[in-house]
């Protein structure tokens, strides 16, 4: 049996928020079976799984990973950026004319 890592209970704050959702019987049975095998109740198991998935999703959206060839191209462009084209110059001019900064 694998050890269950309860990351939710170790958070130092009160559980004051409530979440309700409906699910299919097959999903509920699988969660209940997995929770029993892990030695925790359904809520603890479900909350830990949802929390871990949420953290992974947030991390995936906040981090950009580049392949070595893309990494090299990105930093080469940062070190020697190309000169602005006319279209960019016009966009900056429109911005100056239409946006007022305080």
- Per-residue pLDDT of 52-98, as tens digits, reads 999 999 999 999 899 999 999 999 999 999 999 999 999 999 999 99
**Phi-psi region for residue 39, left (φ > 0), alpha (ψ -120 to 50) or beta?**
left
Model-wide pTM > 0.85? no
Q: Which of 57, 33, 54 is nearest to 45 (CA)?
A: 33
């Amino acid at each position: 049996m694998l050890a269950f890592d309860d990351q939710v209970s170790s958070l130092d704050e009160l559980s004051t928020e409530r979440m309700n959702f409906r699910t299919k019987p097959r999903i509920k049975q699988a969660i209940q079976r997995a929770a029993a095998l892990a030695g925790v109740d359904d809520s603890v198991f479900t909350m830990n799984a949802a929390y871990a998935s949420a953290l992974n999703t947030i991390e995936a959206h906040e981090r950009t990973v580049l392949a070595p060839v893309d990494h090299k191209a990105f930093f080469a462009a940062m070190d020697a950026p190309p000169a602005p084209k006319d279209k960019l110059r016009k966009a900056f001019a429109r911005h100056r004319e239409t946006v007022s900064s305080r």
